[in-house]
A and B are shown apart, each in its own frame.
Chain A
């Protein structure tokens, strides 16, 4: 059992390539559903299963409490019952619109999902590519959620992952060292999401976890 709060910030480490995670100081271990299908890594910390192709059979097969990230307006009907049954957290993802976010929260609650199991992902563009839309939606939700029971949930941001896809993160033809620049871009995206009010930020570089945790 673990709890995700609307206060403070947690850092989820996006686990790929079977890294050694024993010495990492992450709060949540994020893992793609494709890797998770072959078994979950051995950790006492919260595990978040990520991907758009999570199905209810997979959710039913989980033998521990997880965070299911994510469920959308397209597949919530199939997935929410299995998520309720397993007692999992769920990330409800909607495309950069406060009303759509609210609507999906209501639909999920009406299916019987417990309010304290909901995390919102209101989506965000990468740094330099429409990042501000997602940024402002998070700021608005933080402002409004005390007065709106259907927005009163923790926020998760994948801004660092989105920003790592940008040309500025990947290109070798931009001034400076691409390897360093990529990490800086991830940190800036994470820090901006933190400033906007995200309660969970997903990060890919293990070193960035330590840097971000050094801020809190």
Chain B
């Protein structure tokens, strides 16, 4: 853990009420200012001539990155600072790579297949991060297996699950808790190439705890998809609201007369509503209003979901021009806003929807629009 300003301050002359208190030799007006700057790493330790050995040791240890970061092109591997995502956040999503054997006749086709693969997660296209060539040299496009082994990664050839799991946990713990240099290299697990289902279960565990890179000897898209989904979750920064982009989302091929729903852009709200809309037997639109990733009531009280924002969103996505529907279903929690919204957006009528996404299906069945 990094030292706080106060933890640093207690070693400085002013805190000990010693000679040279607030001497300004460091360029700061007080020892406290120096301590605060040092905590943010905005000033060099040696600017203060009165640093004691204990502070030097503790500080240098505290700012040391527990895990190295290794880069392959745009990919960053490692650089993690915590054992649990809730302590701060994980930083660089586990690299998922496939080893392609160039000694096999169909290797070019395999490469094409892997490159063509991708799915959309949170409106972002993701796929396999890295193709590693076996029985080949490094090329301009791809890295070779021997190239991977020369990057300074801690390469772990998977043996049985228990051993590999314990090894990964042990390495990460020593790197983070003890800041042991011998364990600071990011880890790369090369999966044993057996049953895909079992590989999927094992790799999922390693992704959570604590592989920085996982390489598979064979490409199985059905296995990569859930790993990408899990990775998206585990590497989400818990300090930020998870949000989706504002916009008009379509479900089941809506036409100009389909239903229009509206909600905020908090990802969980969006997921809950879109899941329901997808399963309706009628087509629909979902207008997502950009509201700083806040859920419905939070956005309302924080004024990120206001009639004005709704009006701008309707205009931006040219709803009145492109869709004939004039009734918009809003979250039930915001039923008080219906009239006010209508005043701002006189082209539209706003209808009170349900409080819970799970009631949408019932709501649509019993409402005559």
A positions within 8 Å CB-CB of B: 125, 127-133, 135-136, 139-140, 143, 163, 165-168, 174-177, 180-181, 183-185, 187-192, 194-196, 207-208, 211-212, 214-216
Contacts and interface: CB of A to CB of B under 8 A. Distances in A.
A132 B201 contact: no
B275 A129 contact: yes
Given A139-B86, A195-B205, A184 B275 contact: no
17 contacts: A127-B229, A127-B230, A129-B275, A130-B271, A136-B86, A140-B86, A175-B117, A175-B119, A176-B222, A177-B222, A183-B197, A184-B197, A184-B225, A187-B204, A190-B201, A192-B234, A214-B198
Interface string B220-253: 0111011101101110101000100000000000
Interface string B192-213: 0001111011101101110000
Contacts of A191: 200-202, 204-205, 208
A180 B223 CA distance: 8
B266 to A, nearest CB: 10
A-B residue pairs, 4 tightest by C-beta: A188-B226, A195-B208, A191-B204, A128-B229
Given A132-B236, A188-B201, A192-B208, A168 B223 contact: no
Most buried by A among B208, B267, B268: B208
Nearest to A130: B268
Interface residues of B, number: 39
B229 A168 contact: yes
Interface in B242-292: 242, 267-268, 271, 275, 278
Instruction: Give the dominant DSSP class at A's interface.
Output: helix
Given A140-B86, A188-B201, A208-B197, A125 B226 contact: no
A181 B119 CA distance: 13
B85 interface: yes
Given A214-B198, A215-B205, A185 B229 contact: yes
Nearest to B208: A195
B233 A128 contact: yes
B84 interface: yes
A195 B226 CA distance: 15
A134 B278 CA distance: 24
B200 A188 contact: yes
A167 B119 contact: no
B197 A136 contact: no
Given A127-B233, A130-B268, A175-B119, A181 B225 contact: yes
Nearest to A205: B197
Contacts of B348: none
B121 interface: yes
A181 B227 CA distance: 11
A177 to B, nearest CB: 6
Contacts of A212: 201
A175 B205 contact: no
Contacts of A143: 84
B59 interface: no
Contact of A165 (B117, B200, B267, B275): B275
Contacts of A175: 117, 119, 221, 225
A132 B225 contact: no
Contacts of A183: 197
A136 B221 CA distance: 27
B161 interface: yes
B200 A184 contact: yes
Contact of A181 (B208, B222, B234, B267): B222
Contacts of B208: 135, 191-192, 195-196
A121 to B, nearest CB: 18
Contacts of A128: 121, 229-230, 232-233
A91 B266 CA distance: 30
A183 B230 CA distance: 14
A167 B278 contact: yes
